[in-house]
Amino acid sequence: MKKILAFLILFTFLTPSFAEDFDDLYDEANLDETVTIQEEDTEDSETTEEAVEEDTEEYLSKNFYKIEMVRESQSAFNKYVPITIRITPNETPVKTQITWDVPDNISLKTSHSEFIESLVKDQTYEFKARVKPTDPGTYEIVVNVTAWRHDTNYTSSESIQIEFNNNLVVDPTDTNYQVLNIVKIFLIILGIGGIGVGLFFGGKKLMKVLEKYLKPPEI
């Protein structure tokens, strides 16, 4: 009986101490977990900010300009295909550079300067170029528009594919091309007829002159 009583008394004194030690261990574990979570949250926040900055830079790099390329009706006279590009800056650049990438067997003629300094944010501008190949096939025409700024440069690009048949014609069913082709044939026929008429009347006048000069003198 004395042993049991002594055990109970000892257990009574030790139990609060054990409970306090257990609570301390629990609190330390919670504190460590809280610190870990806070560190993870801080790292996630920094990563998100960096990602936003990268996304912004990447967005500006690819989308500083909104570019639209439009293929117009081919000329029936020289076979050149006009291409119109519409450029809308999303920010105002200090200077804009327009360059073209075309295959070696493509002849390119532009009607704009390479560098332009008057583009304004949210305003749309049109520029034109003409292309013509030396051989049939499908060709990719690429335009690069570069914004020159004080701190960095941004380039936006757009491309269009054009297929030429064996006659170097893009679309024989194009109504405008057909009309121009008819006009070309008419002008050719008119030109040939004009040359023929000119030769006829010119020949008659020439014969009269020659008869006058070649007439033998009277004796």
The domain limits of the chain are 1-61, 64-171, 173-204
Name the DSSP class of 141. Answer: E
Three-state SS string across 127-138, please?
A: EEEEEEECCCEE
Name the DSSP class of 104. Answer: T
CB 177 within 8 Å of CB 167: no
**CATH number of 64-171: 2.60.40.1230, 3.40.50.150, 3.40.50.2300, 2.40.100.10?**
2.60.40.1230
Per-residue confidence in pLDDT tens, the chain, 219 aa: 545 545 444 444 444 444 454 455 445 555 455 445 455 555 555 554 454 454 566 666 668 999 999 999 999 999 999 999 999 999 899 999 999 999 999 999 999 999 999 899 999 999 999 999 999 999 999 999 999 988 888 999 999 999 999 999 999 888 888 888 888 887 888 888 778 777 766 776 766 666 666 666 665
